[in-house]
Amino acid sequence: MTKVAIVILNFNGKHFLEQFLPSVLQFSGEAKIVVADNGSTDQSAEFTKEKFPEIEVIRLSENKGFCGGYNTVL
């Protein structure tokens, strides 16, 4: 069995998460879904944790940009 993770990098994109996470969940099969929050200030991480508890949220303390956000080692 192939294990797949879908990692979505987010920075102040709460409105996009509201709009698109339901479809991601619907069509992702058994893939693990992770939202890597890149230092957002719009309550994106809190919203995701509350509305989509099945999605893992990783909070970065600051916006590390595209490459830094995807490649930060925790």
Per-residue pLDDT tens over the stretch 8-51: 999 999 999 999 999 999 999 999 999 999 999 999 999 999 99
Neighbours of 51 (CB within 10 A): 12
Q: Which residues of 6-41 are buried (b: 16+ CB within 10 A; e: fewer)?
A: eebbbbebbeebeeebeebeeeeeeeebebbbbbbe
- Do the domain assignments include residue 74? no
The total domain count for the chain is 1
Q: What is the pTM of this model?
A: 0.91
Q: Which domain holds residue 13?
A: 5-67
Q: What is the pLDDT of residues 5-19, one digit of tens each?
A: 999 999 999 999 999
- Do the domain assignments include residue 48? yes
- Do the domain assignments include residue 12? yes
- Do the domain assignments include residue 72? no
Looking only at the bridges linking them, the beta strands covering 56-60 and 32-38 are parallel
Q: Rounded to whole angstroms, how far apart are CA atoms 8 and 19?
A: 14
